[in-house]
Structure 1
């Protein structure tokens, strides 16, 4: 399924008919990327992206009109979501909510067609429950005065600390300003994952008090990198690998190698457009694939 640039087009994806609309709409004025180009990206990246979404209740940043219009976070299925797109009921602090599970190319394209361009997922799967986290995540977010290059240096040290605890780290440039580190783990309750991540972030702050912070207080973050450990909470989500981010430029949350992290000397070194990510996957495959399956999962210390 490769949509063209016409205003509306009906296509068949995995046996499902989708009416794609507003294909000519420019979503990113800075680059001219249109809705047709984003749908094409999601259709082509789906074979490597969907396995990292499957089974996980998705939430979205929706911006049907692109950056020029309104955007908001949505947990419930977008109006007009096809009946065949899977849904699960998830408990939240404010009650229960029905959420979409993206388990196919068709579901991914259907959500993007409804303006749900940015996908976020938790570190647990619906079938095992929100207290069975199978991924640990650390979000390295640079404050004013720092940047992605500093995040890379911190990430290299965090990798060492994780390896010392028997965990294998994988890096994903966030597509915004920072870097996400993931480690596959044997399923644990969210409070245990959060507790370990918080302690690890505290170890880093103890080593580098002038560079690392674990508090989200804005005044404390100048010239420092926040290690956000809280995304391991069962109620939290993280931008999914391979999702496009709704920023000025259409950059992607893209898995990167540790050699690339070590070589990074400018934030532009690890900034990838949808077209570049497709080229990377064609050349390197899915760098995030080791997080699938159970072979590489380790117990939290």
Structure 2
């Protein structure tokens, strides 16, 4: 029998709570839902609010079938908000917008990673933040990503921009920069310029092209997620990895002092203490007062 629970006045059927989703740690679906409800909800909702959400679903755990969906899943309750989203020049679709705890728990019950674009529903294609996805090619690790992140932070600061960091929840790092509203194609062009510059300055460490053959031992500075059609894993989302890793905000001190990749590997059980100690390290991204203009191309 599927238990029915009430969340903020909404009735939810939460299924298969004893199902082990992460065999490496024995983490059950019930524990995943508890993480979202009791640990991550307040901070995560800050970063999901007013953004169309895409889901990477992995209902049988990371070793089972995985599929990415932008469309509202079949059976989406009528009270879950959706928003029109441009898919091409003459077509629109709808996507889910997770605005409240009830919607968050409905989505989490589907067993998903949460992904969002760099823009909000009221201004599709107009970014209010910029992202760099630092992806290490073996034998490079998160340690090399940290060195690249520090270089990017200083370079962005020279242009009057502030950078905040989180783990990807996989092998790398994400740098996020709050911006005054800017067309996504202009943000993409600026980000590509910085990725190219990073490769010129750090040729032994950085590659700006996705070509696999170029990447062993280097950090791929992926600027492509700034495109209006692309998305990035949301802060605090669990990932479909062997363990319940979190895309976890980290301090610049942790980045500067990182000497081993496991130092930046955070699981669901780590996040309560981190939030208690630091609060939401990415809170400034949601503060319009922190946004700065993108520099005019030189």
Which TM-score band applies after superposition, normalised by the shorter structure?
over 0.9
Aligned residues: 293
Q: How does 1:95-244 map to 2 (within 5 A)?
A: 95-115=91-111, 117-130=112-125, 132-244=126-238
Q: What stretches of structure 2 of length at least 5 have no aligned partner?
A: none
Pairing partner for 1:57 from 52, 56, 65:
52
8 Å CA contact 1:255–1:287 kept in 2: the answer is yes
Shift of 1:161: 0.2
RMSD over equivalenced CA pairs, Å: 1.2
Q: Structure 2 vs 1, CA of residues 68 and 145 (structure 1 numbering), >3 Å: closer, same or farther?
A: closer
Take 2:172 and 2:88, find their aligned partners in 1: how far apart are those partners? 28
Using structure 2 for the length normalisation, give the TM-score: 0.96
Take 1:9 and 1:283, find their aligned partners in 2: how far apart are those partners? 34
Take 1:300 and 1:283, find their aligned partners in 2: how far apart are those partners? 32
Take 2:27 and 2:68, find their aligned partners in 1: how far apart are those partners? 22
Q: How does 1:16-31 map to 2 (within 5 A)?
A: 16-31=10-25
Partner of 1:84: 79
8 Å CA contact 2:206–2:221 kept in 1: the answer is yes
Partner of 1:264: 258
8 Å CA contact 2:128–2:179 kept in 1: the answer is yes
8 Å CA contact 2:85–2:124 kept in 1: the answer is no
Q: What stretches of structure 1 of length at least 5 have no aligned partner?
A: 1-6
Pairing partner for 2:277 from 274, 283, 290:
283
Take 2:17 and 2:105, find their aligned partners in 1: how far apart are those partners? 13
Shift of 1:106: 1.0
Shift of 1:93: 3.6
8 Å CA contact 1:54–1:103 kept in 2: the answer is yes
Take 1:97 and 1:247, find their aligned partners in 2: how far apart are those partners? 29
In the TM superposition, what whole-angstrom CA distance separates every residue of 1:183-208 from its partner, at most 9, and x where no partner exists?
10000000110011000111100001
Shift of 1:96: 2.6
Shift of 1:170: 0.2
